[in-house]
Amino acid sequence: MATPSNTGHFITNQYVDDEKTRVGTNAQTQMVWMIGEEVKYVCDPPFSPRGRRVCQSDGSWTEFFCVLVTDCSQVKTCNNAYGDGEYWIVLEKYNNARVKIYCHDMSSDTPGHFVSLQEDNYSVMPTGCFSSYCGRTNFTKIKINLNNLQINTDHTFAEWSCKPGPYGRVMGCSSDAGADCGTVQVNVEGTSFKVSSESTLTGPADIVFSSNHSVMHGKCNGRCSACYSAHQGVRLRFAFSVKEHGTPDEDSANMTICV
């Protein structure tokens, strides 16, 4: 929905506004928008403006819309000058919730969607158990599917000491004595998201959630056991949900303006 900063109507191919040049008709005093002048509109959140409302010589107006920007491809469509960075994105499937998303690889046809992590997010895999994983992996951004808010383990923004590990799951200890046990921490404080209440760790895991579900810490017990992530009972899935409170500051991301 758009709200004009000035309101009015047409009189003989001129736009009338109560704050513009006054014109008298039928004993009424009114204001006129001149050809080439622009009416400034403000779109109600979470909509973004597209186009400009300019008075033309034939008495018509150039096109203007308020649109929902629902992914990074639409950010790029709105303004091809936009590059990699933080943007406010609207999730229609989630009651038009507005979330902060890092758009990556905007020069491509299919930019990726990431959540910038403000706190420590890591997995520590024991050595000697699995050839695919070992050591500590630190994540600074994590890839997210905006259709279902499930997490895709992607190491574009990760660093690791041995071999890159997964996000949100972990393996067990490398010895019966419990030494070198696998641990995992998901911490989405300072983002638009929290850990979904339907995501957890399965297997011999000790799990602690913060009261607002923004933090999950897990330890996997048992020699070389696997503590898999699970979402809605499906193994090897992990998901976020939209946070209702404690969301990022307004100026921490770009509001998309379409041209």
Q: Quick one: pLDDT at residue 17? A: 44
* Confidence class for position 178, pLDDT limits 50, 70, 90: low
Mean pLDDT across the stretch 177-181? 60
Instruction: List, in order, residues 6 or more apart from 157 with CB less than 8 Å away.
Output: 114, 139, 140, 141, 142
Q: Give pTM, 2 decimals.
A: 0.80
Strand-strand pairing, 28-32 and 38-39: unpaired
Burial of 244 (0-12, 13-18, 19+ CB in 10 A): exposed
207 alpha carbon, distance to own chain's centre: 26
Instruction: Give 46-83 pLDDT, tens digit per residue.
Output: 788 878 888 999 988 888 888 889 999 999 998 899 99
Mean pLDDT across the stretch 88-111? 96
Say if residue 95's pLDDT is above 80: yes
Q: Quick one: pLDDT at residue 22? A: 47
Instruction: Give 6-52 pLDDT, tens digit per residue.
Output: 333 333 333 344 445 444 445 455 568 889 998 887 888 778 887 88
* Confidence class for position 252, pLDDT limits 50, 70, 90: very high
For residue 42, the cross-strand partners are 3
CA separation, residue 54 to residues 61, 85, 129, 170 (Å): 5, 31, 67, 58
Q: Quick one: pLDDT at residue 27? A: 47
CA distance 72 to 110: 8
